[in-house]
Amino acid sequence: MIGLIVFVFLGAAAAAPVDDKIVGGYECSPHSQPWQVSINIGYHDCGGSLINDQWIISAAHCWQNPYSQIVIVGDHHIWVNEGTEQFMSVDAIYWHESYDYQTLDYDIMLMKLVHPVTVNQYVKPIALPKACPTPGDMCMVSGWGNIYTDQVFNPFNLQCVEVPILSDKECEGSYPGQITDRMVCAGYLEGGKDACQGDSGGPLVCNGELQGIVSWGQGCAQPNYPGVYTKVCSLMPWINDILSSYS
């Protein structure tokens, strides 16, 4: 329960909404984020990113029984079948053995699909990072986080927002004692642009590489409280180990 008090979890669509969508963003150009995944448990629950034709990366706090989840790729309007979607069953989920649900350290999981997706103009994997991001790098966050502040309701179309990587000093200044080497902050200290509930597990893409996974934050788009993302570059050894062991 401590974690629920300290953090705004950005995952379940059923979470109590507070400025509850990609805040300060806009509707993405359709299929401009072809790695974007919707993890569905009867409704959109979390985001994720396609990293090759059979693997999805998301946040560990989005974990559900794999047999209760459907992964949807190639989607834009989440409530209309546009003919571009692929609906995939999940074979197995691997979350980091050091994941801490209270601090959200090591907030990462890999999902293996039962069958490979068909890669096409609507469905393409995102590259994993070759190096860590640099403060000031501009990055894209996308998701279907809730759209109303007074009830739970997902937006129809995928939302995008651009935010810069912040320095470790700025990140630590906003969240003293809570930031680990597996976390990176992105956003504006003046507030106004951020991810929010329902966006969890989704991509933070910088210079064509997946540098972050939407993880947590205090409120959404609040001044001095930027979004906190799982730092993908710091977990590449673990990612590569899982992919090599179970692919």
Instruction: Give the tens place of pLDDT for each residue, 94-130.
Output: 999 999 999 999 999 999 999 999 999 999 999 999 9
What pLDDT, on a 0 to 100 scale, did the predictor assign at position 74? Answer: 98
Pairing of strands 138-143, 70-73: unpaired
* CA dist., res. 74 & res. 19, Å (int): 26
Return all residues near 245 (Cβ < 8 A) that are at least 6 apart: none
**Domain assignment present for 212:** yes
pLDDT at 241 over 60: yes
- Indicate if 44 and 97 belong to the same structural domain: yes
pLDDT tens track for 19-75? 335 788 899 999 999 999 999 999 899 999 999 999 999 999 999 988 899 999 999
User: Running DSSP on this structure, what letter comes out for residue 239?
Assistant: H
Asked if residue 11 is part of any domain, the answer here is: no
Same domain, 56 and 140: no
Q: What is the mean pLDDT of the chain?
A: 89
Is residue 234's pLDDT more than 80?
yes
**Torsion sign, CA atoms 79, 159, 185, 37:** positive
Is 137 marked active-site?
no
Percentage of the residues of the chain whose pLDDT score is greater than 90: 76
Does some domain include residue 119? yes
Same domain flag for 171 and 206: yes
Q: Spell out where the chain has E strands.
A: 8-9, 26-27, 36-40, 44-52, 55-58, 70-73, 86-95, 109-113, 138-143, 159-164, 183-186, 203-206, 209-217, 227-231
Catalytic residue among 38, 49, 142, 200: 200
The answer as to whether 23 is a domain residue is no
Answer yes or no: do 144 and 121 share one domain: no
Q: Is the pLDDT of residue 188 over 80?
A: yes
User: Count of domains in the chain?
Assistant: 2
Q: Which domain holds residue 109?
A: 36-125+235-246
Measured in residues, the chain has a length of 247
Tokens of 61: 């706090």
Confidence at residue 216, expressed as pLDDT on a 0 to 100 scale: 96
CB-hemisphere CA count at 13 Å for 180? 16
Q: Looking at the predicted structure, is the pLDDT value of residue 14 above 80?
A: no
Q: Please report the pLDDT score of residue 154 as a whole number.
A: 55
d(C-alpha 19, C-alpha 32), whole Å = 24
Catalytic site residue from 61, 75, 142, 174: 61
Residue 163 lies in a domain: yes
Known catalytic residue at 98 = no
Nearest to 216 by CA among 110, 132, 103: 103
Domain assignment present for residue 90? The answer is yes
d(CA 91, CA 69): 10
Triad 30, 189, 194: Cα angle to 5°: 25
Judge whether 29 lies within some domain: no
What residues are paired with 186 via a beta bridge?
165, 227
Q: Is 137 found in the same domain as 184?
A: yes
Percent of the chain with pLDDT over 70: 87
**50/202 Cα distance (integer angstroms):** 10
Lowest mean pLDDT segment, chosen from 117-131, 164-178, 181-195, 229-243: 181-195
DSSP structure class, residue 171: H
By three-state DSSP, how is residue 238 classified?
Answer: helix
**Residue among 19, 45, 75, 107 flagged as catalytic:** 107
What is the rounded average pLDDT of the residues 163-176?
A: 98
Residue 49 three-state SS: strand
Q: Is 200 a catalytic residue?
A: yes
